[in-house]
Amino acid sequence: MTKLIIQIPCLNEADSLPDTLAALPRRVDGVDVVEYLVIDDGSSDGTAQVARQWGVHHVVSHRRNRGLAAAFRSGIDRALAEGADIVVNTDGDGQYEGGDIAALVTPIVEGRADIVIGDRGVAENAHFSPLKRLMQRVGSGVVQSLAGTHVNDAVSGFRAISREAAQRINITTEFSYTTDMLIQAGRKRMAILTVPVRTHAAVRPSRLFKSIPRFVLQQGITMARAFTAYKPLRAFVGTGSLIAIIGLLPILRFLWFYASGDSDGHIQSLVIGGALLVLGTLVAIMGMVADLVAANRKLIEENLARTRALEDRIADLHAKQAESSQDKQAQAKKARRTAA
């Protein structure tokens, strides 16, 4: 039996949540059970109560606002605990078309993808300003380079994730999970596909960021952290080598004048060059240490994935034992009735 859980991170979405829930599919081809999960990230307008009134199957509440990345993590953890085989993430403001969830799920059901991203058609989307279109294309290009995969709309929150992929992804950023998740998935050689999806006009300003420059800054920090985490040698050794090469220039300048018999007044070139060489060497050594840390992180992530898989097997075993016990009790009752 295949279970799909559609999770919706929310912050003060009591007004728009009913329309979002009404647009979600009740049935999806290839899926036996469809359930909804709302993550109330410290809302003050009764979002969790509205979710329960509308029959949402699972509600996770944060006592205070913890941010989108934390809400996404909480949703994934709960969905996995509830036995989800596929998790779809969408927004509570109704930006995405609920009818396109089937298109997101199909590649996973067919075994063609681990993660499916909803492509909003950034280049031609009429709901985006020209500046936002440009920033989205540039950001997606950078993420593609870092992740080693082709994704046109890297920051789209409308995405489907298989259970196996969700167990292997560990979100570390505190801002937005979108780019961090893609870079991790790409570096872990997961199969990532994109499908075109429809969007609706924004009904309110984004609560994730207050301005485009702040959004760009935060996403840049997330990308830099992910790159240094998964490619520490390239990041640090490359940077250290560049610093060392720059340090060689003033040293060569000093040697030129020294060979010409005019070394007076050029000692500062030797000092600056030597300092840059030392700095470059230290940065390169940091890269080697970071690479060892990255290797340990991979081992920890592999152990975590195995632990989660073991928990699944234990849960299945308990479920089978409980089912077997119920069958035995039913058979015993039937036997007693027959004897009577």
pTM of the model: 0.72
Question: Residue 337 has what pLDDT?
Answer: 75
Q: Return the CATH class of domain 3-230.
A: alpha beta
Enumerate the domain spans of the chain. Answer: 3-230, 232-327
What is the reported pLDDT for 138? 67
d(CA 119, CA 253): 53
Sign of the Cα torsion 320, 325, 330, 331 reads positive
Report d(CA 84, CA 75) in Å as an integer: 11
Q: What pLDDT does residue 117 have?
A: 93
Tokens read off for 218: 């935060």
pLDDT along the chain (340 residues), means of 10: 93 90 92 95 92 94 90 92 93 87 95 92 62 64 72 87 91 78 86 90 59 68 74 84 91 83 74 91 89 81 79 78 76 72
